[in-house]
Chain A
Amino acid sequence: MSKVDLSNFKFDGIKQEAITDLNDLSVEDKDQLLMAGVTSDLSSRSATFLQMDQSSVHCKSMDDNVEIMDIKDALEKYDGLKEYRWTLIDKDKDEYTRAANDNLHGGYFIRVKAGAKVVDPIQSCLMLKSENVGQNVHNIVVIEEGAEAHIITGCSVAHGTKAGAHFGITELFVKKNASLTTTMVHNWGDEVAVRPRSAGVVEEGGKLLSNYVLLKSVKDLQMYPTITMKGENSIARFNSVVVAPEGSYLDMGNRVIMDAPNTRCEIIARTIAAGGTIINRGHIAANHVPSKGHLECQGLILGDGRIWAIPELDGTAEGVELSHEASVGKIAQNEIEYLMARGMDEDEATSTIVRGFLNTDIMGLPERLQREIDKQIEELQASDAM
Chain B
Amino acid sequence: MSLLLIPLLGALLMLAFVRGEAARPLSLLAALANLGLTIGYLFWYNPNNPYLMLADFSWIPQAGIRFKLGVDGTGLAMLLLTNLLTPLIIGSTYSRKLPGVFYGLVLLMQAALVGVFTALDGIVFYVFWELALLPIYFICAVWGGEDRVRITLKFFIYTFIGSLFMLLGLIYLQQHAPGQTFDWADLMKADLTPGASTWVTLAFFLAFAIKMPVFPFHTWQPDTYVNAPTGGAMLLSGIMLKMGIYGVIRWMLPLSDGAAQLYPTFIALAIVGIVYASVIAIRLQDIKRIIAYASIAHVGLIAAGVFVGNETALQGAILQMLNHGINIVGLFFVSDIIENRTKSRQLNELGGIAKQAPVFAALFMIIMLGTVAVPLTNGFAGELLLLKGLYEYHIWAAATAGLTLILCAVYMLRIYQFAMFGPAKALTEGFRDVRGSELIVLGVIAALVIVLGVYPQPVLDLTKAATGLLLEMK
| A, B bound | no
B residues with a Cβ closer than 8 A to A are none
